[in-house]
Chain A
Amino acid sequence: MKPFELIEHTADVGIKAWGSTLTELFENAARGMFIIITGEEYKPQGSEIEKKIEINENRDDLEGVLVSWLSELLYIFNREKIYFNNFKISSLNNNGIKAEASGINIDLYQNGLYKEIKAVTFHNLKIEEDVDGFSCTIIFDV
C-alpha cells in the first residue's frame, strides 16, 4: 500500500493518504504534508528534536481530529522551525490523539526550500474504510 500521493488541484495542493490502520493513515497524512512543503527529494540533516502532541476535542469527530493533528504539526513547524519526519501515534480515537513527533530543527526558508501551507482544509474531507484499510483526501490551502 502506498503511504500517500500528491493530487492535482487548480489553486491548492492535495494528498491522498492510505493506511492499513487509522494510526498509519494519520502518520502517512503527516508525512505527505511535510513532503508538500519541501518536495520528495529533501533529506533533512541536523539535530533531532522530539515533541509530544496531545489533542483532546471530545467532539466525536475523526475528521476533525485529523485536521487538528495536521494543523498542530504545522503550527509547531511554523513557530519552532522543526521539520517533522517521524511520527509515533500511541492513541487515537474520534475524540483525540496522543503522539510523539520528531524532526530536525532547520530554517527551511533560509535554504529556499519552502512551500508555505496556509492551512489544512475540511474540503470534501472524509476518512473512508475498505478491505485494505483506510484512506482520505486532504486539500491544503497554499
Chain B
Amino acid sequence: MAQAWQGKLEKLDNFRWKIPQSYKPGMKVPGLIYANESLLPGIINDKASEQVANVSFLPGIVKYSLAMPDIHLGYGFPIGGVAATDPVNNGVIAPGGIGYDINCGVRLVRSDLILDDLKPRLETLVNALFNNIPSGVGSSGDIKASAKEEEDIFSKGAMWAIKKGYGVKEDLEFTEDKGSMEGADPSKVSVRAYERGKDQSGTLGSGNHFLEIQVIDEIYDGEKADIFGLFKGQITMMIHSGSRGLGYQICDDYVKSMAGCLNKYNINVPDRQLVCAPLDSGEGRAYLSAMKCAANYAWTNRQCLMHLARNVFEKVFNKSWNSLGLNLVYDVAHNIAKMEKHKVDGKERLLCVHRKGATRAFPPGHPDLPELYKKAGQPVIIPGDMGTFSYVLAGAEGSMQETFGSTCHGAGRCLSRSGAVKVCAGRNIDKELFNKSGIIVRAKTRTTLVEEAPEAYKDVSEVVNVVHGAGLSTKVARMRPLGVIKG
C-alpha cells in the first residue's frame, strides 16, 4: 500500500506504542503495539495500525486491542493481533480474528544428533524429506482417514494419530492443549469443509509452510534450555503447517453466515471481515465448536507430519527415531481463539483470547503447562525466514499481566509477495542460500521461493528482542537453518 498510516502512535516506553481510544469514534479500548524504534517505520508504512484500531470496535473487548512486534497488514485483524473479549460483557467471537488457516502453528522436534553427525547426510536427508512428505497446494497424502475417522480427528485431535500409531503418548503431553480442544462439534462443520479436509492430513501445504532442519547456534538461558532438552550444536527440526482446506472452508462458511449477526445483535464494526457474534449466542457457539474441529485437525496434521519425518530420519540414519532422540519439544498454535482465565483489575475472568498470528506464552507455574516445563514456562517456537534464524523463547509473567498470555509468532512480512518478486527478479534464491550459508532448500515451485525470500521478512531477532525486552517471553535458544523444504 503506497500511503503510510496517518494516525498517531504515542510512545509509552521503548517497547510500547499506544493508539489512543480517541483516534476514531467507535473504538471501545485503546490499541497497543509492541515495537521498537527500528521496527516502527515498517509498521506505520503498511497501515496495519488501522486494523489494530478497527479490532478495538469489537463488543466486549478487554483493556486493549493488542499487536505483537511482528505485526503486518492482514484482513480484518492485523497479523500479530491479539484481542480478548468477555462473554459476560456481550463479548464476541470473530472468525477473522483467527483467520482462514485455523490453528496454523509450529512444532519443534529435538534430536541427539549434532552437526558433525548430520553434515555428511544433510543433502540425502533433505531430499528424502522433500520426496516423502506431501507438500504443495492441495496436496494429499498417504495418511488416509475415512469419513468416520475424519470425525474422530475433529473431536479427538492428535490422539487419533497416536492411536493409529503415528507417534507416542508423550507427544501429546508436549502439544498445546494436548493436541485436542474440548467441545469440538463435527455437526457444525459443513459438507464442503469435510470434503476439503479429506486426505490432507499429513500434508504440509504451500506458501509460508515448511519443514526445516536446524542447528542450535546460541543458548541464552542454560537452565531453561536444559529443561527443554536443548543444547548448543544440537540438530532440531521445525514443522510449520495448519488445518489446510478444512480451516479455510470453516472460516469462509462462518464469515458469510455471520453477516446477519451485525444487525441482529446491533454490532458496529468498520470492516466486514470483522463480522462476529456474541460468545453467548447460537452463532458464536457454533463457530467456536467448528473452529475447534479445525484446531484438532491441525494438531493431528502436524503430528502426522512429524511421524512421516521421523520415518525419513530412520531410513537415512538406519536407526529408530527413539534412539536418535527425535522427541517433541513443543507444539504451539498461532491462529486460534481460546477460552482462558485471566486477571482483569485483580479479578479472574474467563475470556475469549483471539490470537491471529500470535503465540500463547504461559509463564512458569501456569497450571496448563506440562509438569516438566512448570519451572521454565511454556516453550514458544518462533520461526524466522529461511535464510536467518529461528528462536525458542519461554513464556514470562509479563504476558499474563499485559497480553492475555500472548507473544509474537514469527518474523512477520515486510514486503508484499509481488514486492518480493520484484526485489528478487532474476535471482536464484535457493542457489544464493546454498552458496552464502550452505542452506539446502527444496521447493515445489520457484514462485514460493521468491515470495518467501529472506528479504520479504522483518529481522526476526529485532522482533524477539522486543518481546524479550517487554517481558512477554524470554530468549532461550537460537537456531540456524541447514535444510528447508517448502510447498
B100:A78 contact, CB within 8 angstroms = no
Q: How far is the CA of A141 from the CA of B255 in the complex (A)?
A: 13
Q: A109-B136, A116-B207, A139-B75 are in contact. Are A59 and B272 (CB under 8 A)?
A: no
**Which residues of chain A from 90 to 142 have any CB-CB distance to chain B below 8 Å in the complex?**
109, 112-116, 118-125, 139, 141-142
- The stretch of B10-18, B180-188, B385-393, B439-447 in contact with A is B439-447
Question: Which of A10, A78, A116, A120 is B48 in contact with, Cβ under 8 Å?
Answer: A10
Would you call B196 and A123 a contact (CB within 8 A)? Answer: no
Provide the A51-81 mask, 1 if CB < 8 A to any CB of B, else 0.
Answer: 0000000010101100110010001001100
Partner of B446, one of A12, A64, A112, A121: A112
Is A41 located at the chain interface by the 8 A CB criterion? no
Residue numbers in A under 8 Å from B96 (CB-CB): 121
User: Does B117 have its Cβ within 8 Å of any Cβ on chain A?
Assistant: no
Which of A64, A67, A113, A118 interacts with B248 by CB under 8 Å? Answer: A118
Q: Does A9 contact B (CB under 8 A)?
A: yes
Q: Is there a chain A Cβ closer than 8 Å to B399's Cβ?
A: no
Q: Is A35 an interface residue (CB 8 A)?
A: no
Q: How far is the CA of A12 from the CA of B136 in the complex (A)?
A: 18
Nearest-neighbour CB distance to chain A for B100, whole angstroms, equals 5
Interface residues as binary, A5-32 with B (CB distance below 8 Å gives 1, 0 otherwise) = 0101111110000000000000000000
The answer to whether the Cβ of B469 comes within 8 Å of any Cβ in the partner chain is: no
Residues A114 and B445 in contact, CB atoms below 8 Å apart: yes
Nearest chain A CB to B132 CB, angstrom units: 18
Residues from chain A with Cβ under 8 Å of B72 in the complex: 10-11
How far, in Å, is B72 (CB) from chain A's closest CB?
5
Contact A123 B271 (CB under 8 A): yes
Surface stretch bound by A, among B29-37, B409-417, B426-434, B475-483: B409-417
CB <8 Å contact, A64 and B256: yes
Tier of interface size on chain B: 35 or more
Q: Verify A11–B413 contact, CB threshold 8 A.
A: yes
Q: Is the CB of A141 within 8 A of B99?
A: yes
Determine the chain B residues whose CB is within 8 A of the CB of A125 once the complex forms. Answer: 272-273
| Contact indicator A123/B75 (Cβ below 8 Å) | yes
Is B131 an interface residue, CB under 8 A from the partner? no
CB A97 to nearest CB in B, in angstroms, measures: 15
| Contact between B206 and A116, CB atoms less than 8 A apart | yes
Within 8 A of A (CB), among B157-211: 192, 195-196, 205-207
Measured between beta carbons, the chain B residues less than 8 angstroms from A63 are: 272
> With A68-B256, A79-B195, A115-B447 given, is the CB distance from A10 to B75 under 8 Å?
no
The distance in angstroms between the C-alpha atoms of A108 and B382, with both chains bound, is 32
Q: How long is the Cα–Cα vector from A80 to B139 in the complex, in angstroms? A: 14
Binding site for A on B (CB under 8 A): 1-2, 46, 48, 72-76, 79, 96, 99-101, 136-139, 192, 195-196, 205-207, 245, 248, 251-252, 255-256, 259-260, 271-273, 275, 413-419, 444-447
B-binding residues in A (CB < 8 A): 6, 8-13, 39, 59, 61, 63-64, 67-68, 71, 75, 78-79, 109, 112-116, 118-125, 139, 141-142
13 inter-chain pairs at a CB distance below 8 angstroms, sorted by A residue, are A6-B418, A8-B416, A9-B1, A10-B416, A11-B74, A11-B416, A39-B447, A67-B256, A79-B195, A112-B444, A119-B248, A122-B75, A125-B273
